Amino acid sequence: MKRSEVRAAQKRAAEMFDHIGIMLTPEERETIEVAGFGLGNLESQGLELVTYINTDRYCAKELVLFPNQTCPEHLHPPIGDEPGKMETFRCRHGVVYLYVDGENSGTIQVEVPAGSEEYYTVFHEIELHPGQQYTIPPGTKHWFQAGENGAIVSEFSSTSRDEFDIFTDPNIQRMPVIVED
């Protein structure tokens, strides 16, 4: 991902935070993480995030999804004696469609990113609006997509070890690789 693309996504995410009144420090604004997953299509499959704290006991983040942007299917595996990350998503703005292991209740309300259909395998839909939340148990395969106006989700979880996440798509690189323009 090019540095200019990262800067543009950071600016856009900061504007979304401003729009709904979530205040960030200047340092947080400059260090918004832009996860493009190495797929070359941030608008379709990507995620912007701010990590407030991540210790050996707990983690708190804000997740920004641009309109119809998808965080690809993944799970948080056990690490050592720990069962894997348990996370609660609380929608702050927009609508987010969360898909987890479980019974497919029929037609889903979003479109799986074109060209990646084979890597999306769980379709139990949970629709979250502002003020609603859902807890994802450890080791649960999941993915999520914003509605047409984008979404901001607060994540509260056990320790986050993103580098160990297991993605269904073998082409995904979780840790961003940024190149200069």
The answer to whether 64 touches 48, Cβ cutoff 8 Å, is yes
Please give the sequence-ordered ranges of beta strands (E in DSSP) within the chain, or none if there are none: 33-35, 47-54, 59-65, 70-75, 87-100, 124-128, 133-136, 142-157, 166-167
Q: pTM of the predicted model, to two decimals?
A: 0.95
Residue 27: its pLDDT value, please? 97
Please give the class, per CATH, of domain 3-167. mainly beta
Residue 64: its pLDDT value, please? 98
Per-residue pLDDT reduced to its tens digit, 26-81 = 999 999 999 999 999 999 999 999 999 999 999 999 999 999 999 999 999 999 99
Give the CA radius of gyration of the chain.
15
Residue 178: its pLDDT value, please? 78
Q: Is the pLDDT of residue 176 over 80?
A: no
Residue 180: its pLDDT value, please? 84
Residue 105: its pLDDT value, please? 75
Per-residue pLDDT reduced to its tens digit, 105-156 = 788 999 999 999 999 999 999 999 999 999 999 999 999 999 999 999 999 9
